Structure 1
Amino acid sequence: MLNQTDLTRVDLNLLVLFEIVLEERHVGQAAGRLNLSPSAISHGLGRLRRLLNDPLFLRTPKGVVPTDRALDLAEPVADILARARSVIATAEPFDPATSTRRFTIGAPDGVSAVFLSPLLAELRRLGPSINISVRQILPPRAVRTTDGVWEPVLADIEARAVDIAVVPADEVPARFTARTLYEEDFVIAMRAGHPFGKDPTLDAFCRMQHLVVSLTGDAYGFVDDILGEHGYSRRVALTVPNFMFALAIIAETDLIAALPKTFVAMYAPRFGVVGAEAPLPLIHSRIRAITSKAALMDNGVAWLFNLLGKAVKPADVFG
């Protein structure tokens, strides 16, 4: 939006003014929010118009309306201010008891559904005004091993698109820190009374219609890798984008799915879904909280990372 020469003469407050006027669509109301006079707002808008070479806001009897150029600038200006606020927040002393920061945690919903309840309980006690955004993440293709699968998530951590990721990753590069929260296996989830529950053999498993959780709609999963090694295959009749939706569908159909054992134990009963051991060995993984060592220099991220490790205890997960 601005070149290097422009930045030497830009007052960041002008972008704040732009944001508030865009929200209020009224100079007087924007002035009230910023504790400035309407003339000061008008003067600031004049500087912005010269800087950006556009009227930005047009006067009407009821206030102002943004030009197309102003609407185009809304998102990049909001992004600039969000990043600036984040930088300033990391420089301030972090007190969880009074902080109103928002942190973003990336995880598959089959994982976030496990750790969120104990984490939120701790936040109510220690950081009652802290806000959490959970971002659903799944690998682009389900595979048997976790090697390299979560590399895009590591990139998101470094870009600060997420503060912490909680995923089944065995190894991470040295520039990251990882902490195991719990260990996970997979079971075969099905509705109560499903025929497979009475005949849980490998042949019967392959005859069933399967559901795969896939963010992209890719129907090939890690189970297919394992089946192929034994000379078997299956029919994937449906893919859905998250684990909770999978439980709802399984409850109402004859579809079966390989789902995380801990997740199934915690949530399947309310759907009338049961879990059974798989007729062949599936993957075992460590669910780990991951962040970058650079991010841990932010006292807020470091506090949340440690809190995650303390909040998710075996008794909470398996009890």
Structure 2
Amino acid sequence: MLSAYDSRKFSTSRVRSAHGYEEDPVIDDGLTFRLPRFDEHHSRIIERRGVKWMIWSPNSRQDPFYPGAYIHQQSLPLPAEKEQLRTDGHGGRWDYTRSPQHYSNVRPWLGFIVRPGFQEPFDVEYDEVISVWESMSPEGGKIPLDACQALVERNDLLEGQISSILSDAARIGGGIVSHRPRYPDSASLAGLANIDRYEKLLDRMTECQWGIKEKAAWVAFVRTWTLNPPNVEYRSQERVIRTEERFVGTWLNGEHPQFGWWFLTRAAMPCFIINCLGNRVPATAQCSTFTERTPIASLQSLYYEYDRVAIANGGRTTSREVGHL
């Protein structure tokens, strides 16, 4: 709906969407299990402060951003930097819906989250808040009822799918059932229709969308396991298979990946590894930062819509490290 107003505004300062991504990550390049045999790999070399790092994958051709080890080692709450709310509402470097994270045995399904841009038309959890918002006055507006209802219906569909495969999930063990995602509920989603301020809807709807994306990932994880369970008898003969590039994937460094072998040989889930090459290895670096050649680079654009609209409408941004407007 066309409007004479644009109420996509913030009453308090926000950091830009790309804030913090150029900071040096806490790197954990330990690898605690032996990889299956593989025939090829995709890599890039980053030289940072005189040290070379190789980011590579035996099954994916993605160039992911490396966020570093999550320093608190809990369940990765989102937004990870709650005191640093962004103009687009996303959770920063530890937002597992944007970038692959270090593997978590508590939530091993996170790598099955679908990457932005690879979703199906009915995956309304990828709808952009900035696009669905309807301004009704210079200061207020709403989300259309049909957009809100679509989120409710999508969540209900996933809840039904989760209920139908709980018995399959129980056979996997490892807390897959007890740790399954439960947020949001229908009431939380229906309540979005009552929000009349853009900044509040941005944060609330984004948080709901995180939960729906994780529910879809949990379903994909369990279904993939059911169709292609680990084959212990033939494990020694298994090789890495090509991946489903639509998934975000995971980093295999750090915590021992209980499902790492299965990801690589049967689940076709993108897996990434970072290794330190030191400063004496005769290898040419292609990048000088961890954001180069990654999807995160788009957040640094002068024309990134969320930042542009926020500043155009009088918003105050506290980080000017990129995209000076």
Q: TM-score range by the shorter chain?
A: under 0.3
Q: TM-score, normalised by structure 2?
A: 0.22
Of Structure 1 and Structure 2, the greater strand share is in 1
Of Structure 1 and Structure 2, the greater helix share is in 1
Q: TM-score, normalised by structure 1?
A: 0.22
Structure having the higher Rg: 1
